[in-house]
C-alpha cells in the first residue's frame, strides 16, 4: 500500500513538474488559451501577418519557422516573406541569392546580416530559396535611420534620388507623436527621445511601404519583426492601415512572464495571438 501511495505521489509530482517546464503557452488577445491550430485557422482571409519576436528568444524563432511552413501548405506560391532584419538596399543581393545567381558565401559577405542570422533567420531564408518564395528586405538602411535620429527628418531630403528609393516616400510620410509606442519613447527617453521616436516611425513607415509595394491581391505576406514594431497594431501596422483594411491584418507577439499559466493583464490585447514564454528561457545571443 505504501509503495502504491509513493508511486502515485511520484506520478503527480512528475506531472506538476512537467507543467512547470512548458516552453510556451499560446493565448488569444483576450487571454484565452489556444493552440497553434487555432492560430493557423485565424490566418484564413488574412493578407498581412506580422510575427513580433524577441530577437534573442528561441521560442519566437522556432514558432516563426513552424508558422511559415504551415502557411506555405495553405498558400503555396502566394506566400511572400519579409523581415525587419534585412535592409531595402540589399534586396537585389537577396534576389540574386534566392534565384541561384550568387553563392551563399557571396550572399553572406555582402548583405549586412544580423549576428544571429545563422541560428535564427537563415532557416527562413533557406526555406524561401527551397520553395521559390520572394523574401523582401523591408527595413530602412540603418545609415539613413541614423541620419534621421541625429539630424532630423529634413536631413533625408538631401539624399540622392537613388537613396530616396530605399526609404518611405517623404512626400507622404507623417509622424504622429501621439501614437502610444512613439509617445512612450519620447516621454521615457527625455532629450533626444523625439528624434528617436521619429527614426522608429521612419523605420515603420519604410517597412509598410516595401510590404505594400511588393504585395499583390493574391499574396499572403508574412513579416518578421521585433514585437515593438507591431504590438497593439501600432508601428508598421499603423502605417499599413492607412491603405489596408484592418480586417485583413493579423498580429502575433512574444512576451515573457515568470508564470505562464495565466496571461498577465498588461499583455492582453497586445496582438491577436500572444506567445507567452517563461522568463527563464535561454536566449540565442
The torsion angles phi and psi of 170, rounded to 5 degrees, stand at -65, -30
Q: How do residues 58-83 score in pLDDT, each as one tens digit?
A: 999 999 999 999 999 999 999 999 99
Domain boundaries, the chain: 23-278
Distance CA 196, CA 199 (A): 5
- Residue 34's Cβ-count burial label (10 Å; 0-12, 13-18, 19+) is middle
Question: Is the pTM above the cut of 0.95?
Answer: no
User: Shortest CA distance to 183 belongs to which of 200, 170, 171, 169?
Assistant: 200
Residue 228, CA atoms < 13 Å, CB-side half-sphere: 13
Q: Are 94 and 111 in contact (CB under 8 A)?
A: yes
The tens digit of pLDDT for each residue in 40-57 reads 999 999 999 999 999 999
Q: Decide if domain 23-278 falls under CATH 3.40.50.11550.
A: yes
3-class DSSP assignment, residue 139: strand
- Rounded distance between C-alpha atoms, residue 129 and residue 179, angstroms: 37
Average confidence (pLDDT) over 12-27: 71
The predicted structure's pLDDT at residue 284:
86
Contacts of 124 (CB under 8 A, 6+ apart): 64, 65, 68, 81, 83, 135, 224
Q: What is the pLDDT of residue 189?
A: 84
> Averaged over 270-278, what is the pLDDT?
98
Q: Edge to edge, what strands does the sheet with 249-257 contain?
A: 33-34, 25-28, 273-278, 249-257, 48-53, 220-226, 79-87, 135-139
Residue among 133, 160, 129, 132 nearest 144 (CA): 160
Q: How confident is the model at residue 185 (pLDDT cuts 50, 70, 90)?
A: very high
**Helices within 99-225 (DSSP H only):** 104-110, 122-131, 142-151, 161-164, 180-189, 193-214
Tell me the average pLDDT across 232-247: 97
Give the tens place of pLDDT for each residue, 152-180.
Answer: 999 999 999 999 999 999 999 999 999 99
Q: What's the whole-number average pLDDT of the chain?
A: 93
DSSP letter assigned to residue 225:
E
Tens of pLDDT, residue by residue over 95-136, are 999 999 999 999 999 999 999 999 999 999 999 999 999 999
Residues sharing a CB contact under 8 Å with residue 272, sequence separation 6 or more, in sequence order? 28, 29, 42, 250, 251, 252
pLDDT at 225 over 90: yes
| Confidence (pLDDT) at 6 | 47
pLDDT tier for residue 19 given thresholds of 50, 70 and 90: low
The H helix count followed by the E strand count for the chain is: 11, 8
User: Averaged over 169-196, what is the pLDDT?
Assistant: 92
Amino acid at each position: 500500500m505504501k509503495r502504491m501511495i509513493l508511486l502515485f505521489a511520484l506520478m503527480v509530482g512528475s506531472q506538476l513538474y512537467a507543467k512547470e517546464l512548458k516552453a510556451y503557452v499560446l493565448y488569444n488577445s483576450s487571454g484565452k488559451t489556444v493552440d497553434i491550430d487555432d492560430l493557423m485557422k485565424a490566418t484564413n482571409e488574412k493578407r498581412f501577418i506580422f510575427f513580433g519576436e524577441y530577437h534573442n528568444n528561441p521560442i519566437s524563432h522556432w514558432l516563426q519557422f513552424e508558422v511559415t511552413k504551415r502557411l506555405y501548405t495553405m498558400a503555396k506560391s502566394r506566400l511572400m516573406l519579409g523581415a525587419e532584419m534585412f535592409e531595402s538596399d540589399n534586396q537585389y543581393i537577396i534576389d540574386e541569392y534566392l534565384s541561384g545567381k550568387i553563392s551563399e558565401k557571396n550572399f553572406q559577405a555582402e548583405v549586412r546580416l544580423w549576428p544571429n542570422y545563422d541560428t535564427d533567420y537563415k532557416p527562413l531564408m533557406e526555406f524561401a530559396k527551397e520553395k521559390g518564395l520572394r523574401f523582401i528586405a523591408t527595413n530602412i538602411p540603418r545609415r539613413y535611420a541614423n541620419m534621421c535620429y541625429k539630424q532630423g527628418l529634413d536631413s533625408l531630403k538631401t539624399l540622392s534620388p537613388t537613396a530616396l528609393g530605399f526609404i518611405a516616400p517623404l512626400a507622404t510620410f507623417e509622424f504622429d507623436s501621439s501614437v502610444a509606442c512613439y509617445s512612450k519613447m519620447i516621454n521615457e527617453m527625455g532629450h533626444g527621445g523625439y528624434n528617436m521616436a521619429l527614426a522608429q516611425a521612419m523605420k515603420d513607415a519604410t517597412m509598410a511601404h516595401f510590404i505594400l509595394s511588393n504585395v499583390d491581391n493574391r499574396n499572403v505576406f508574412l513579416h518578421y519583426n521585433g514585437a515593438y514594431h507591431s504590438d497593439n497594431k501600432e508601428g508598421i501596422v499603423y502605417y499599413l492601415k492607412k491603405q489596408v483594411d484592418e480586417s485583413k491584418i493579423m498580429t502575433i507577439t512574444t512576451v515573457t512572464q515568470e508564470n505562464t499559466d495565466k496571461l498577465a493583464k498588461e499583455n492582453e490585447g497586445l496582438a491577436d495571438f500572444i506567445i507567452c514564454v517563461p522568463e527563464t528561457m535561454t536566449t540565442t545571443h
